[in-house]
């Protein structure tokens, strides 16, 4: 996600390569003990790694169309091949197993499973995910399946996509069929990934697929995502799936850049839009007052009972705080503003703020009745052209992960009910509008040869998991 699309990067970046180098073999792991029931995992998504966009009967998604239009993606990259995971899936699962990771969150590609219409399954597509899940289970890795990570079939976009209320029912119908097929083997079901980003960036400001803009477009897309999520949770429960049911949201503390009243008010509005309008309909059955008016044209009587469903656990993607100032030239009069010094940045210009993690976890804990949470994404990108000069020696990434894990522990000590932590991500992958240049993986991918090479952080994470397992076994 390009969190800073609406502003220019800070003039002086103290980039994370300047973080203290922590030797992978020490790295202060002794303090990172999370107990016997804690789930360490790793996350990916279908569109970002699979490639093979024309194979196995797959039809285009909105992202295929968006990538092939000019000027959307850095360097004109596409995900046509990406990490070629579709052909290299066994090797990639072996990498997960090789690090001792016992939980894998992945997403499924809707237009691979139902390319032509909503009722005709594509046996080749189902076969691919059957093999994936069976291989995971054979390696004793729990499959955490995300049903929708932004790659809507283009055929549904042509009928209005998420601005069309019917797409909510289509998601539930898709999930119903998928859960009947995989319901005996999936350990955790995640309905959506980051409805805030998908609605705002894809349907509000147009920097993600399907490239739409405007407040009405954003609000209708988000409401229909929320509704589709509620209907899906009910469908999964009705099918009696074995796995636990949840969803994934990016939840970030939103701070005003200054204490000027207009900046404080702008931060409150953005918080209602970014965090509240995703969590409240699901966990409390309403929209936040500050933005409720935008949803009125789309929210029909009874909708908020449908969106308000009990979940077993909430995935929280955390990268940093958002620092916001008033800016009348953008929707909601709220734009990114200067950060609070002293803050370090990743190479993407995202602030490194591990102390924001307990802040947001305690807020969720206190607001939503101690909801069980897992960290579904947390990770660190470098930006790279060509082959890595020193990309495998990723001390900055190790430091980032370690700092976030220490603050996660603080949140647990303060009472947050957190049962897992998943790193974003296994492989360097296709990072949406950032293309192939942003490298988040624990494993380096040479896109010329598709050779995978574990970085230091991969070995560090393996060691952390081993240490936790050894102590708790």
Catalytic residue IDs:
194, 377
Nearer Cβ to ligand GCO (192/212): 192
Kindly give, in sequence order, each residue whose CB lies less than 8 Å from that of residue 176, ignoring residues fewer than 6 positions away. 235, 236, 238, 239
Q: Give the residue with the Cβ less far from ligand GCO, 317 or 320.
A: 317
* β-sheet bridge partners, residue 316: 249, 375
Give the other-Cβ count within 10 Å of 320's Cβ: 20
Residues 277-289 as b or e (16 or more Cβ within 10 Å = b): bbbbbbbbeebbe
Among 190, 232, 199, 227, residue whose Cα is nearest residue 104: 190
Strand partners, 452: 445
Site for ligand GCO in 243-262 (CB under 6 A): 250
Give residue number: closest CB to ligand GCO: 1
CA-to-CA distance for 85 and 49, rounded, in angstroms?
A: 6
Number of residues that bind ligand GCO (CB under 6 A): 12
Quote the tokens at residue 161: 């996509």
Q: How far is the CB of 45 from ligand GCO (least distance, A)?
A: 5
Closer CB to ligand GCO, residue 326 or residue 381? 381
Considering only residues 66, 421, 424, 460, which one is a binding residue for ligand GCO as defined by CB under 6 A? 424
Closest CA to 452 of 101, 49, 52, 139: 49
Among 154, 317, 320, 335, binds ligand GCO (CB under 6 A): 317
Site for ligand GCO in 348-387 (CB under 6 A): 377
Q: Compare residues 39 and 43 and give the one whose CB is closer to ligand GCO.
A: 43
Q: Which of residues 260-299 bind ligand GCO (CB under 6 A)?
A: none
**Minimum CB separation from ligand GCO for residue 151, in Å?**
11
Binders of ligand GCO among residues 175 to 214 (CB under 6 A) are 193-194, 197
CB of residue 120 to ligand GCO, shortest distance in Å? 28
Site string for ligand GCO, 15-54 (x = CB under 6 A): ------------------------------x--x------
Closer residue to ligand GCO (CB): 48 or 167: 48
CA distance 131 to 127: 6
Q: How many CB atoms lie within 10 A of CB 9?
A: 11
CB 383 within 8 A of CB 439: yes
Q: Which residues bind ligand GCO (CB under 6 A)?
A: 1, 45, 48, 193-194, 197, 250, 317, 377, 424, 431, 440
């Amino acid at each position: 996600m390009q969190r800073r699309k609406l502003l220019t990067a800070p003039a002086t970046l103290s980039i994370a390569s300047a973080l203290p180098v922590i030797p992978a073999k020490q790295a202060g792991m002794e303090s990172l003990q999370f107990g016997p029931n804690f789930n360490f995992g790793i996350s990916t998504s279908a569109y970002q790694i699979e490639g093979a966009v024309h194979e196995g009967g797959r039809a285009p998604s909105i992202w295929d169309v968006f990538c092939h239009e000019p000027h959307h993606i850095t360097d004109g990259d596409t995900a046509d091949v990406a990490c070629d995971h579709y052909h290299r899936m066994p090797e990639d699962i072996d990498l997960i197993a090789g690090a001792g990771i016992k939980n894998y969150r992945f997403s499924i590609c809707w237009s691979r499973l139902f390319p032509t219409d909503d009722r005709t399954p594509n046996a080749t597509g189902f076969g691919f995910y059957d093999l994936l899940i069976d291989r995971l289970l054979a390696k004793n890795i729990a499959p955490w399946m995300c049903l929708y990570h932004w790659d809507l079939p283009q055929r549904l976009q042509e009928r209005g996509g998420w601005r069309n209320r019917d797409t909510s029912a289509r998601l539930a119908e898709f999930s119903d069929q998928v859960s009947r097929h995989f319901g005996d083997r999936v350990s955790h079901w995640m309905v959506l990934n980051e409805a805030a980003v998908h609605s705002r960036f894809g349907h509000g400001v147009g920097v993600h697929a399907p490239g739409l803009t405007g407040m009405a477009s954003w609000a209708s897309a988000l409401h229909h995502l929320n509704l589709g999520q509620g209907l899906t949770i009910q469908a999964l429960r009705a099918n009696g799936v074995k796995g636990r049911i949840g969803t994934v949201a990016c939840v970030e503390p939103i701070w005003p850049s200054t204490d000027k009243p207009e900046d404080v008010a702008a931060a409150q509005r953005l918080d209602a839009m970014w965090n509240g309008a995703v969590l409240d309909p699901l966990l409390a059955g309403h929209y936040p007052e500050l933005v409720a008016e935008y949803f009125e044209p789309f929210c029909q009587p009874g909708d908020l009972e449908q969106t308000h469903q009990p979940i077993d656990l909430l995935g929280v993607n955390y990268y940093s705080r958002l620092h916001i100032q008033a800016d009348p030239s953008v929707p909601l009069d709220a734009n990114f503003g200067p950060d609070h010094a002293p803050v370090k940045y990743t190479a993407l210009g995202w602030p490194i703020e591990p102390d924001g993690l307990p802040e947001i976890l305690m807020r969720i804990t206190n607001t939503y009745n101690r909801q069980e949470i897992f960290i579904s994404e947390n990770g660190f990108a470098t930006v790279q052209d060509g082959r890595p000069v020193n990309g495998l020696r990723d001390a900055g990434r190790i430091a980032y992960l370690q700092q976030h894990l220490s603050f996660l522990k603080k949140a647990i000590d303060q009472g947050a009910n957190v049962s897992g932590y998943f790193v974003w991500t296994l492989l360097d992958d296709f990072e949406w509008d950032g293309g192939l240049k942003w490298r988040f993986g624990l494993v380096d991918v040479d896109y010329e040869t598709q050779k995978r090479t574990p970085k230091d952080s991969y070995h560090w994470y393996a060691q952390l998991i081993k240490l936790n397992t050894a102590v708790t076994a």
